[in-house]
């Protein structure tokens, strides 16, 4: 009789958990690196959630101007449509005001994560894509 070693199931479980139900949605909300700063999925999720929450309330974070409309003058090929919002991307939590740093997450006004961009390595006030955004 064919039997499955329980250890095999344990080893395969992470693979099945990682398998996305919707590959497109799963791929959008991802870890990214901006310049030399590595952000986890949790970091980008915190950014998305905070941005969308403020947007829904018609507010901004701690007296800042964020979130605000991002016009995509740089012409990034986001896989979701706009209108886009930009919000400071920070590590271990969500931006709550003050100096915004160099990095931003981009979501659309429906709350769908579009990507991440950074001033690091860009000229002037422009942005370049973080890893996964081009």
Ligand X SMILES: *[C@@H]1O[C@H](CO)[C@@H](O)[C@H](O)[C@H]1NC(C)=O
Catalytic positions:
68, 86, 119
Instruction: Figure out which of the listed residues 30, 53, 64, 109 binds ligand X, where binding follows CB under 6 A.
Output: 109
Considering beta carbons, is residue 49 or 108 the nearer one to ligand X? Answer: 108
Q: How far is the CB of 94 from ligand X (least distance, A)?
A: 20
CA pair distance 112, 32, nearest whole angstrom: 16
* Site for ligand X contains 96 (CB under 6 A): no
The C-alpha atoms of residue 10 and residue 81 are separated, in whole angstroms, by 39
Contacts 24+ apart (CB under 8 A), 20-28: 24/79, 25/112, 27/79, 28/79, 28/80, 28/112, 28/113, 28/114, 28/115
**Among 83, 96, 126, 134, interactor with ligand X by CB under 6 A:** 83
Write down the least CB distance from residue 111 to ligand X, Å: 8
Span of 14-22, 59-67, 96-104, 108-116 interacting with ligand X by CB under 6 A: 108-116
Taking the C-alpha atoms of residue 47 and residue 54, their distance in angstroms, rounded to an integer, is: 11
């Amino acid at each position: 009789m064919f039997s499955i070693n329980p250890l095999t199931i344990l080893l395969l479980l992470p693979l099945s958990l990682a398998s996305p139900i919707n590959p497109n949605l799963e791929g959008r909300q991802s870890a990214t690196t901006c310049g030399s700063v590595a952000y986890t999925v949790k970091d980008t999720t915190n950014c998305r959630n905070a941005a969308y929450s403020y947007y829904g309330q018609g507010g901004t974070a701690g007296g800042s101007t964020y979130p605000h409309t991002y016009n995509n003058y740089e012409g990034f090929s986001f896989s979701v449509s706009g209108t886009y919002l930009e919000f400071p991307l920070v590590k271990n939590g969500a931006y709550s005001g003050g100096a915004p740093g160099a990095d931003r997450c981009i979501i659309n006004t429906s709350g769908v994560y579009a990507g991440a961009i950074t001033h690091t390595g860009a000229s002037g006030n422009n942005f370049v894509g973080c890893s996964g955004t081009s």
